[in-house]
Amino acid sequence: MALRCLVTRGRTLGGLDKAAAVASKGLGQLRGLQTFSLPELPYDYDALEPAISGDIMRLHHQKHHQAYVTNYNKAVHQLQDALDKGDASTAVGLQGVLKFNGGGHINHSIFWENLAPISQGGGEDPHSSLGWAIDMNFGNLEALIKKMNTEGAALQGSGWVWLAYDSELNKLRVETTANQDPLVTKGLHLVPLLGIDVWEHAYYLQYKNVRPDYLKNIWKVINWKYASEVYVKASTSV
Ligand SMILES: [Fe+2]
């Protein structure tokens, strides 16, 4: 028995399709054993300053994301060994570490794409169909941002706040997930358009314990173009 991973070895997750595929397919398809690799950022570490410091981006990407990748790959090999031996107890016992680290990789791969330097369009308001959908579902962009900031600030401990497209109801939703749970754990019909990391490691070096200030400033470098592309693809394929 072999495990089909969602990203091929040696390839990055820089593309829209790859990030969307990771988020939408989850972790459990069994076929050929492959492992994750750390994707390169589509911009320099300091390119999001002053909203997010280069020190945060470097540590976040090189240490935190890398750790999720390393630990997921290790667990994948352990899972394969357990399955080969028919060791159901070990296989079941690995599910937690697979979910946490696989989720960490999925979430961060999307997160990097959700950000862009101002010089590359970061912070520019969404246009066309996503802009209209935001107005329809939340009243206006400011109301959506306020809702995501409020829910992100209120999330206890560590986790993520998401702008999701609900493909069953054909509407936008704001969701939160705890720890490194990817959005897919709340339903395969939820497509992540934006995911904002509210773990302390995402902001503490710059904003200390003031998560609301981090949430206020991150919108200056949000890549709405990416979110719009994911939305158009998801909403026209249902
Ligand atoms: Fe993070």
User: Tens place of pLDDT for every residue, the chain, 238 residues?
Assistant: 333 333 333 333 333 444 444 433 334 344 578 889 999 999 999 999 999 999 999 999 999 999 999 999 999 999 999 999 999 999 999 999 999 999 999 999 999 999 999 999 999 999 889 999 999 999 999 999 999 999 999 999 999 999 999 999 999 999 999 999 999 999 999 999 999 999 999 999 999 999 999 999 999 999 999 999 999 999 998 6
Was 61 annotated as part of a binding site? no
* Ligand 1 centroid, distance to 15 Cα (angstroms): 19
197 bridge partner residues: 160
Was 108 annotated as part of a binding site?
A: yes
- CA 128 to ligand 1 centroid distance, Å: 30
- 209 CA to middle of ligand 1, Å? 15
Please check if 64 is assigned to a binding site.
no
As a whole number of Å, the end-to-end CA separation of the chain is 33
105 labeled part of a ligand binding site:
no
> Hey, which residues does 174 pair with through a beta bridge?
163
Q: Report domain extents, the chain.
A: 16-116, 120-235
Check if the beta carbon of residue 62 is closer than 8 Å to that of residue 47.
Answer: no
For ligand 1, an ion, list residues with CB under 5 A: 197, 199, 202
pTM: 0.86
Task: Please tell us whether the domain made up of 120-235 is placed in CATH 3.10.20.30.
Answer: no
Question: Is there a contact between 11 and 37 (Cβ–Cβ < 8 Å)?
Answer: yes
Query: What's the Cα-to-Cα distance from 48 to each of 13, 42, 159, 179, rounded to whole Å?
Result: 19, 11, 21, 24
Which CATH class for the 16-116 domain?
A: mainly alpha
From the CB of residue 32, how many other CB atoms can be counted at a distance below 10 Å?
9
How far apart are the CA of 129 and the centre of ligand 1, in A? 29
Give 107 Cα–ligand 1 centroid separation in angstroms: 8
Distance 167 CA to ligand 1 centre (A): 26
